[in-house]
Amino acid sequence: MTENPSRSPGRDATPDADQVDPDPVSDDDLFSTGDIFARRELLRVGHVPDRDRIVGRDNEMQQVGNALGPATHGDPPRNLVIFGKTGTGKSLVSRHICRRARGRAEANGVELLHAYVDCSDADTETRVVRDMTFQVRDEIDPDREIPIAGIGASEYYRYLWDLLDEIDVFVVILDEIDKLRDDQVLMQLSRAEESGKTNTFVGVISISNKIEYRERLNERINSSLQDRELTFHPYDAEQLRNILENRRDAFHDGVLSRDVIPRTSALAAREHGDARKAIDILFEAGALAEASGDGEVTSDHVDDAQQRTEVKRFQDLVSGSTPHVKYALRALALLTAQSEESETKMFSTSEIYSLYERLAERDDTKPLSHDRVYRLLKEQSFLGITESHLTGGGKGQGSYLAHRLMKEPEIVLEALGKGP
């Protein structure tokens, strides 16, 4: 056999990948990042902006700084409760100031550590204390062996207090604190020093976006954890504009038409004042321009993006719902869309029910009883999907429950799609 046998036709039919003729699509094209985005990551959910990209929250940063100020000198920090709607910078600002406090403390020769616990993941006492313990362990003594499972809260506390004795101040951020299922961990933290468990000063920053739970939270949270309360308000158009301007470099030079950022900020400020959503709309607008091969992002892309993000959000909201909930919401959306009056018009359970029945039957689904649908609608209002009010009927009619959607009917209908 020769060293270099002539190849059989069979082999030619399946050539090695690197022996094919150069592909008509060049590598430049194949792996191009497009003409729109220069640094996509700046607009990603979860991207944490660095210090000079946090804008419009100077006052709030100052207040969190004031609470932690003493800690940077080795004194006890003040506890803080932060309220505010979603996307108003609560988590961002708290974490950022904790990091800075740590640097400042270090410069003063004080050992300050902080932990961040998301109580929507760690929603029991054991989970929270375990989470804190591991974060502290990783910082102070990464080689210390601590069981990941099989021990209870009290054992984790023992590890935690023991580790904390090596530092001066410990600050923990309990984010989404309304998701916490029991309060023991709050008691333990607030009494840690008093009860002689540790000599370290402990500070707690509690965060919640459930403003309506404020009273209940106030009852739950030991009063010593509420030295101060701080509210983060929704961003106004100008603040959103600054936030977005600061991320303009996510795009290539010159691709954003002049009115894109003002338009996005105005829409977001009008609807919610949520920075996360504003950033999301800007990203979607860019993605839409990219997908349609347009070289420029325009305010039309922004409007489409806004619609799309709303639809997506509504889909997420109802994704786990039963078909019956979807028929009822579709019924309400159709009634609203057909109504000559404004979108704030409310409809009685009976009006919704008769259309619901028809929609279900059209799909060969057996409708639920009037009473069940009434309860389903009430649940939707609890979830914030609809709003329900008792309305006084006319003379002798008594009062009845009326409902309206919290979103435009077009969005709801598009989100529900063709299915139930």
* 90 annotated as belonging to a binding site for a ligand: yes
* 44 annotated as belonging to a binding site for a ligand: no
In the region spanning residues 197 to 236, those forming contacts with ligand ATP, defined by CB under 6 A, are: 209
For 75-132, give the DSSP string.
SPPPPEEEEE-TTSSHHHHHHHHHHHHHHHHHHTT--EEEEEEETTTS-SHHHHHHHH
- Of the two residues 87 and 409, which places its CB atom closer to ligand ATP in the complex? 87
- Of the two residues 243 and 416, which places its CB atom closer to ligand ATP in the complex? 243
Task: Identify which range of 49-57, 62-70, 256-264, 381-389 contacts ligand ATP by CB under 6 A.
Answer: 49-57
In the region spanning residues 256 to 275, those forming contacts with ligand ATP, defined by CB under 6 A, are: 275
Q: Tell me, what amino acid is at 387?
A: E
* 88 annotated as belonging to a binding site for a ligand: yes
- Residue 243 contact among ligand ATP, Mg ion, none, beta carbon within 5 to 8 Å by kind: ligand ATP
How far does CA 160 lie from the centroid of its chain?
Answer: 29
Q: Tell me, what amino acid is at 127?
A: R
CA distances from 348 to 263, 371, 413, 420 (A): 36, 13, 19, 21
Task: Identify which range of 4-12, 21-29, 86-94, 243-251 contacts Mg ion by CB under 5 A.
Answer: 86-94
Nearest to 46 by CA among 279, 308, 312, 285: 279
Q: How far is the C-alpha of 286 from the C-alpha of 295, rounded, in Å?
A: 10
| 404 binding ligand ATP? (CB under 6 A) | no
* 91 annotated as belonging to a binding site for a ligand: yes
Q: How far is the C-alpha of 150 from the C-alpha of 154, rounded, in Å?
A: 12
- The 3-class secondary structure across 174-214, one letter per residue, is EECHHHCCCCHHHHHHHHCCCCCCCCCEEEEEEEECCHHHH
Q: How far is the C-alpha of 120 from the C-alpha of 179, rounded, in Å?
A: 5
Strands (E), 154-313: 169-175, 201-208, 228-232
- Of the two residues 91 and 126, which places its CB atom closer to Mg ion in the complex? 91
Which structure tokens are listed for 148? 């990941």
- Count H helices and E strands in the chain, helices first: 16, 8
| 54 binding ligand ATP? (CB under 6 A) | yes
Q: How far is the C-alpha of 384 from the C-alpha of 99, rounded, in Å?
A: 35
| 248 binding ligand ATP? (CB under 6 A) | no
CA angle, corner 94, sides to 93 and 99, nearest 5?
A: 95
| 57 binding ligand ATP? (CB under 6 A) | yes
- Of the two residues 184 and 242, which places its CB atom closer to ligand ATP in the complex? 242
Tell me which residue has tokens 């919290």. 406
Task: Identify which range of 84-92, 95-103, 318-326, 369-377 contacts Mg ion by CB under 5 A.
Answer: 84-92
Give the binding-site size for ligand ATP (rule: CB under 6 A): 21
Question: What binding mask, one character per residue, do residues 73-112 give for ligand ATP by CB under 6 A, x or -?
Answer: -----------x-xxxxxxx--------------------
Asked if residues 174 and 117 have their Cβ atoms less than 8 Å apart, the reply is yes
| 286 binding ligand ATP? (CB under 6 A) | no
* 89 annotated as belonging to a binding site for a ligand: yes
* 350 annotated as belonging to a binding site for a ligand: no
In the complex, least distance from residue 44 CB atom to ligand ATP, rounded to whole angstroms: 9
- Of the two residues 22 and 384, which places its CB atom closer to Mg ion in the complex? 384
Task: Identify which range of 61-69, 89-97, 320-328, 401-409 contacts Mg ion by CB under 5 A.
Answer: 89-97
The residue from 91, 200, 309, 336 that contacts Mg ion (CB under 5 A) is 91
Task: Identify which range of 88-96, 213-221, 338-346, 389-397 contacts Mg ion by CB under 5 A.
Answer: 88-96
* 247 annotated as belonging to a binding site for a ligand: yes
Annotated binding site for ATP: 88-92, 235, 247
Annotated binding site: 88-92, 235, 247
Residues found near ligand ATP in the complex (CB under 6 A): 47-49, 53-57, 84, 86-92, 209, 243, 275-276, 279
Residues in touch with Mg ion (CB under 5 A):
91
